[in-house]
Amino acid sequence: MEAARWAASCFNEQPWRFLVATSERPEEHAKALSCLTEANQEWARHAPVLMLTVVKNEFTVNGKPNRWCEHDLGLAMGNLTTQASAEGLVLHHMAGILPDRIREVYGIPEGFHPMTAVALGYEGEPGSLEPEWARKSESEPRTRKPLQELFFHQNWGDPFAAGK
């Protein structure tokens, strides 16, 4: 959490907020779990920590729209993910949330927008996951697009190469 707190943000707004629930408090955990889509509920029900992320849509200083709030939340989540991974924890980021339900059950005020969810814990055995699609997803090799599809030089689509 400290790593997320220290993330950079536009005008140091720190527009992120986290709703945290642990399995040590089953009612709170069930409340957070109920804010996920059905598929994510099945996948995340055994996670010892669930977090729901929320962003503040306007700058505090002037009330103007903060179009960078989601970017800044991403920076905070990147910091949190890196630190948690360094400590041997595993995170699963989820976009499948029920924003209206989060707003209702947590009393989210105007000017704040539910964004994502995160399951956090220690890595388990992929074979123990239910349903089958989750087990398959966790056991398949991870892939990424090649760098030349992501980094460009001079013009869109012109792959960047060091020393170019």
Q: How high is the pLDDT of residue 164?
A: 54
pLDDT of residue 37: 98
pLDDT of residue 124: 75
C-alpha span between 75 and 60 (Å, rounded): 19
For the segment 102-141, what is each residue's pLDDT rounded down to a tens digit?
999 999 999 999 999 999 999 877 676 666 777 777 778 8
What is residue 109's predicted lDDT score, i.e. its pLDDT? 97
Task: Assess whether pLDDT exceeds 90 at residue 85.
Answer: yes
Q: Given this model, what pLDDT does residue 139 score?
A: 76
How many CA atoms lie within 13 Å of 143's alpha carbon, on the beta-carbon side?
A: 4
First vs last C-alpha separation in the chain: 40
What domains are defined for the chain? 2-123 (3.40.109.10)
Average pLDDT of span 83-96: 96
Q: What is the pLDDT of residue 137?
A: 74
Residue 90 — very low, low, confident or very high, per pLDDT cuts 50/70/90? very high
Query: How many whole angstroms separate alpha carbon 95 and alpha carbon 93?
Result: 7
Give the pLDDT confidence of 14-71 residue by residue, as tens digits.
Answer: 999 999 999 999 999 999 999 999 999 988 999 999 999 999 999 999 999 999 999 9
Backbone angles phi, psi at 149, to 5 degrees: -90, -10
Q: Is the pTM of this model over 0.75?
A: yes
pLDDT of residue 86: 97
CB 122 within 8 Å of CB 42: no
Alpha helices in the chain (DSSP H): 2-5, 26-33, 38-44, 69-86, 99-106, 132-139
State which H helix or E strand residue 37 sits in.
none
Q: Is the pLDDT of residue 91 over 90?
A: yes
Which pLDDT does position 129 carry in this prediction? Answer: 67
